[in-house]
């Protein structure tokens, strides 16, 4: 297990963000705008799908910034094959949790609709048992999906960087990410907790701070990966 300072990595992420803020913030803002437009024109689910399809570009931009110190929009979009591999990797991790969450949501929505209809026919809403708070079978599936998504996000975070660095293909990257996280669980878990804390603080001033914390996270993760694997990133000044 390598000795890694989370504070130093966040400091480096901040320094790199200041140099590459236009690239990182531009890509993140573009994803959010795409989500809003597609969600407004089609549906929220379609908006999430559109964001997911382009999220590998931001992942690659963060990796290049961590590795080289600077990057550009052209480099971020440059290697389509790598972007597709990262996209497939993300799809594999999200597949089962997504199915559970979606199925649970549909069951809860159907149950709630039935109860509302029944209560309406009876002339009141006092008989509703709380389906709207995700109870019953649908609720179990929904929360099971959420828990599985959290676990896979925690253990599978490093996979895209194993792919981008050329160390692994899509399926081998899953194993490498789980192994790397298991060997350095305390460090990785602390990093995720700190990100959640920074995210909460960033959300306080009307969410403005998230425009800094969000892009920094995309630089911090590859910095953490490079530190844990012993690969060379941008020198710390």
- Note the helical H segments in the chain: 6-41, 44-68, 73-76, 80-121, 136-156, 159-164, 170-183, 185-203, 210-229
Q: Cα separations (Å) of 120 from 106, 112, 130?
A: 21, 12, 15
Range with lowest mean pLDDT among 49-53, 97-101, 141-145: 49-53
* Mean pLDDT along residues 175-200: 93
Residue scoring higher pLDDT (119 or 191): 191
User: What Å distances lie between residue 102 and 51, 52, 99, 108, 148, CA to CA?
Assistant: 17, 16, 5, 10, 13
Alpha carbon distance 203, 209 (integer Å): 6
Distance CA 189, CA 193 (A): 6
- CA-angle at 63, arms to 6 and 157, nearest 5°: 60
Q: Which residues 6+ apart lie within 8 Å of 137 measured at CB?
A: 104, 107
Whether the pLDDT of residue 32 is over 60: the answer is yes
Q: Is residue 115 part of a domain?
A: no
Examine residue 203 and state whether it is found in any structural domain, yes or no. Answer: yes
What's the mean pLDDT in 37-51?
79
The arithmetic mean of pLDDT across residues 219-230, rounded, is 94
pLDDT of residue 1: 54
Residue 82 included in any domain:
yes
Q: CA-to-CA distance for 122 and 55, rounded, in angstroms? A: 48
Report how many domains make up the chain. 1
Confidence (pLDDT) at 81:
93
CA 17, 170, 181, 230 torsion: positive or negative? negative
Q: Is residue 70 one of the residues assigned to a domain? A: yes
Tokens of 98: 């997504």
Residue 130 has pLDDT above 50, yes or no: no
20 or 199: which leads in pLDDT? 20
Query: Is 114 among the domain residues?
Result: no
Give residue 189's domain range. Answer: 6-91+155-229
In a domain, 104, yes or no: no
Report yes or no on 140 lying in a domain. no
Location of structure tokens 């509703």: 128
């Amino acid at each position: 297990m390598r000795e890694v300072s989370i504070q130093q990595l966040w400091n480096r992420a901040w320094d790199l963000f200041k140099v590459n803020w236009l690239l990182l913030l531009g890509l993140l803002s573009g994803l959010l705008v795409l989500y809003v437009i597609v969600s407004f024109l089609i549906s929220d689910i379609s908006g999430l799908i559109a964001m997911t399809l382009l999220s590998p570009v931001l992942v690659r931009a963060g990796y290049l910034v961590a590795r080289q110190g600077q990057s550009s929009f052209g480099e971020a979009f440059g290697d389509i094959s790598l972007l597709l591999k990262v996209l497939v990797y993300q799809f594999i991790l999200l597949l089962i949790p997504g199915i559970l969450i979606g199925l649970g949501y549909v069951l809860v929505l159907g149950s709630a609709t039935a109860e509302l209809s029944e209560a309406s026919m009876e002339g009141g809403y006092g008989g509703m048992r709380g389906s709207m708070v995700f109870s019953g079978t649908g609720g179990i599936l929904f929360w099971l999906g959420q828990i599985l998504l959290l676990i896979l996000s925690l253990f599978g975070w490093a996979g895209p960087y194993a792919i981008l660095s050329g160390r692994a293909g899509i399926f081998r990257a899953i194993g490498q990410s789980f192994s790397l996280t298991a060997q350095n669980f305390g460090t990785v878990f602390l990093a995720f907790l700190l990100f959640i804390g920074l995210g909460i603080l960033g959300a306080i001033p009307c969410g403005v701070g998230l425009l800094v914390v969000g892009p920094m996270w995309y630089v911090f993760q590859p910095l953490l990966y490079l530190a844990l694997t012993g690969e060379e990133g941008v020198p710390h000044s």
